[in-house]
Amino acid sequence: MGQEEVVERGNWTGKLDFLLSCLGYAVGLGNVWRFPYLCFKHGGGAFLIPYTIMLIFIGIPCFFLEISIGQYAALGPVTIYSSLSPLFKGLGFANFMASCFVGLYYNMIIAWTIYYLFASFTSQLPWDTCDNDFNTQYCFNIGDYQGCKTLRENGSVPAIYLNGTCISEESKFEEIRQNITYFYNCSKNAVEEKVYVNLTTCGNFTEFPTNEDGEYALFDIPRPLRVTAAGEYLSKEVLNESDGIENMGEIQWKLALCLLAAWIIIFFCLIKGIKSSGKVVYFTATFPYVVLVILLIKAVTLPGAIDGIRFYIIPDLSKLSNIKVWEAAAVQIFFSLSVAGGGLITLASYNKFKNNVIRDTFVVCIGNCLTSFFAGFCIFSVLGFMAKELEVDVPSVAVSGTGLAFVAYPDLVTRFAGAPFWSVLFFAMLFTLGLDSQFAIVETILTGIMDFEPRLRTKKTYIVGIVCVLGFLFGLPLTTRGGGYLLDLLDYYAAGWPYLFIGLTELVIIGHIYGIENFFNDISSMVPKNVGSWVKKNLPSIHFSLQTNIYFIYMTMSPLIIGVILMISWGSHEGLTKGDYIYPAWANGIGWLIALTAILAVPVVAIFQLGNAFYKNKDDFHFPTIWTELTQPTETWRENAKKANLIEPVNGNNVEMKEGFDNPAANLE
């Protein structure tokens, strides 16, 4: 081992291990559905404007901050803040708790992909028709509908698509007329006022003429009532959803077994720490790109694909006046880059001390955001195709969240020759997208435990096993009939506000407590010396401006933007909903408790630290002295740098420190 090897914790074994792990952690399931949906919701291409601005002023600075301090100190998030600024020791616990909550539901989504992956190994996909026992009268199959429409236009007898099939027999028509409310989900009183069914209540679709006896006119199942076969497969067969979180129901063992399989895979991939997961990501971080390219080639050749792409890239600039658009862009940057979850600090803590963090920051940040942009073309090509088949506009078929991953794409692949093969390929891609993100989440938890108690590192295998077993047991409620509602609750409250708050606190610590110049002096000891020298030599005219801008971004702009977004989010908060379902007040209360568990860890631990210091020095308490002790870095902060023989004692101290509160702008060299 070289002198830079951190023997006690381990290092990445290859130069690309860390880079691919970061890219795999950042590029996750959200790139496939969340970013394209936000573009759809917030003005198409116009959303790229605030998204790019937030990338520059929040995403890149926070990403660079996290991997820099992680690499410099070689500590996980649980212990790094107590070394950097002991007053903010609670920030490590905030990272740990947020990772625990997110890891629970994220692995459940991976379990869904496992379920679909196994279900795809068949000659006919189970969501290809409406003939299954779980299908309802509102099931809609695009192929059968098109066939029925052709029969109606060319045939001599009326035909309607209803109840998941094409109906042309008069006896069936009479049965439908006697059960208008059931088949059209509208009030029978409303339709009895006219010979024609009330279209306002039942949907605006073409009617059949009434017969000579003035019987009700019948028509195809209205667009608002249509549920694709893939949609019903997810809600009725896979999740078997109850009517709300109040009715959790029993554990569904088919999902529980898939969740167990997901945790077993995580266990074997992490059993040797980053030396094993670092090799797995060579596949998991690159395979999704191969599949996305293949799917894009298939998707753009479909009829109507250009309509979806046009909707995606043509901006609606009027949307930019809405503050919610800017809020959504900032939150998406945190989700997209996986900032403030602790995973980046964890992954960087296993770097060699001289790894080039500047290069890695730009490669991962730009690569991740380009991946989101690329995935948007793939998805909106599909939505344009579906809109053309349904004879509606693109916004009418755009769905968010799991709808894109587990409904729209499964429905699409049924239209491909060799549908099971394409289904296997797609869900294998989703599985790998989720897996490498979950690696970093679980590794954050493991690193936190073993950095907190280093003696446990010799028992790494047992600790990994215990964490995976506990993750499975605590995840079992997500496998119940109400598990889908609980998953959305965790996603909404555990991964939003806590991450924004953590990011804000990190910026305050570096910019106003530790000191921006001290931060960049640390960086200059890690990256090659020619980086700063090259800037000074070749770009002298902008060097001072560059320093000033960095100073302003870290100390003012970035924390101000995040702080404003947090205030807006809290001030405009409304209870969680899922479709037409409104979560009860007690469920939202649990959500607030989940969010505050992470957020309040910071002030609560800070108060405890101050109280403990007061108790120890009650006979000679001097607040300025105590404040300095609690806000300045400890000796542990620079131990990794000393091991790399890069810090020489100055006047008996480890390093000469600049005052953190008012130091000048950073010196890049």
Residue 622: how many other CB atoms lie within 10 Å: 9
452, part of any domain: yes
Query: Quick one: pLDDT at residue 644?
Result: 74
Task: Tell me the pLDDT tens digit for each residue of 535-584.
Answer: 445 444 444 555 677 888 898 999 999 998 888 888 888 888 887 788 99
Q: In terms of domains, do 431 and 576 share one?
A: yes
Q: In terms of domains, do 432 and 571 share one?
A: yes
Whether 67 and 357 have beta carbons less than 8 Å apart is answered as: yes
Q: What is the pTM of this model?
A: 0.83
Q: DSSP letters of 308-355?
A: HHHHHHS--GGGGG-HHHHHHHHHHHHHHHTTTSSHHHHHHTTS-TT-
DSSP secondary structure letter of residue 186: S
Q: DSSP letters of 625-662?
A: HHHHHHHS--GGGGHHHHHTT----BTTBSSPPPPSSS
pLDDT higher than threshold 50 for residue 668: no
Nearest to 487 by CA among 337, 587, 598: 587
pLDDT higher than threshold 90 for residue 75: no
Angle CA(362)–CA(367)–CA(372) in degrees, nearest 5?
A: 135
Would you say the C-alpha torsion 200, 201, 204, 206 has a positive or negative sign? Answer: negative
pLDDT higher than threshold 90 for residue 252: yes
Nearest to 583 by CA among 244, 247, 249: 244
Q: In terms of domains, do 498 and 371 share one?
A: yes
- % the chain with pLDDT above 70: 82
Q: Look at 2-6, 566-570, 588-592 and tell me which has the smallest mean pLDDT.
A: 2-6
The CA distance from 205 to 218, in Å, is: 10
Average pLDDT, the chain: 80
Q: In terms of domains, do 106 and 143 share one?
A: no
Mean pLDDT of 332-346: 83
Last residue of a domain, one of 545, 577, 603: 603
pLDDT higher than threshold 50 for residue 156: yes
Residue 319's region, left for phi above 0, alpha for psi from -120 to 50, else beta, is alpha
Nearest to 222 by CA among 201, 194, 245: 201
Domain count, the chain: 2
Whether 578 and 488 have beta carbons less than 8 Å apart is answered as: yes
Last residue of a domain, one of 559, 588, 603: 603
Q: In terms of domains, do 210 and 239 share one?
A: no
Task: Tell me the pLDDT tens digit for each residue of 606-652.
Answer: 999 888 888 887 777 777 888 888 888 988 898 888 887 655 544 34
- Band (pLDDT 50/70/90 cuts) for residue 278 is low
The CA distance from 164 to 151, in Å, is: 16
The CA distance from 239 to 255, in Å, is: 8
Last residue of a domain, one of 183, 209, 225: 225
Task: Tell me the pLDDT tens digit for each residue of 387-413.
Answer: 787 677 777 776 656 667 788 788 878
Q: In terms of domains, do 428 and 555 share one?
A: yes
Structure tokens at 95: 């990272």
Mean pLDDT of 431-460: 82
Enumerate the H helices of 453-496 as residue ranges: 460-475, 483-494
Task: Tell me the pLDDT tens digit for each residue of 123-155.
Answer: 999 998 888 888 888 888 877 888 888 888 877
Lookup result for tokens 């910071």: 602
Nearest to 191 by CA among 151, 227, 219, 154: 219
Residue 577's SS3 state is strand
CA dihedral 618, 621, 625, 627 (to 10 degrees): 60
- Band (pLDDT 50/70/90 cuts) for residue 197 is very low
Residue 664, phi then psi, degrees to nearest 5: -70, 180
**Domain holding 400: CATH number?**
1.10.4160
The CA distance from 223 to 229, in Å, is: 14
The more confidently predicted of residues 280 and 384 is 384
Structure tokens at 355: 């790894």
21, part of any domain: yes
Query: Residue 378: enclosing H or E segment and its boundaries?
Result: helix 357-390
Task: Tell me the pLDDT tens digit for each residue of 214-241.
Answer: 555 677 777 767 788 888 899 899 999 9
Q: Residue 535 burial by CB count (10 A; 0-12/13-18/19+): exposed, middle or buried?
A: middle
Q: Residue 80 burial by CB count (10 A; 0-12/13-18/19+): exposed, middle or buried?
A: buried
Query: Quick one: pLDDT at residue 652?
Result: 40
Q: In terms of domains, do 237 and 163 share one?
A: no
First to last CA, the chain: 29
479, part of any domain: yes
Residue 567's SS3 state is helix
Q: In terms of domains, do 262 and 379 share one?
A: yes
Q: In terms of domains, do 44 and 179 share one?
A: no
Residue 293's SS3 state is helix
615, part of any domain: no
647, part of any domain: no
Enumerate the H helices of 120-197 as residue ranges: 142-154, 170-177, 180-184, 188-192
Q: State the amino acid at position 341 in one-letter form.
A: G
276, part of any domain: yes
The CA distance from 172 to 148, in Å, is: 15
Query: E strands along 502-645, which residues?
Result: 577-578, 581-582
- Band (pLDDT 50/70/90 cuts) for residue 190 is very low
Q: In terms of domains, do 454 and 478 share one?
A: yes
Look up the domain containing 193 and give its range. 139-225
Structure tokens at 147: 């066939």
Q: In terms of domains, do 103 and 144 share one?
A: no
Task: Tell me the pLDDT tens digit for each residue of 448-489.
Answer: 888 778 788 788 889 999 999 999 999 999 999 999 999 989
Structure tokens at 29: 């399931």
613, part of any domain: no
The CA distance from 52 to 365, in Å, is: 11
427, part of any domain: yes
Q: In terms of domains, do 207 and 288 share one?
A: no
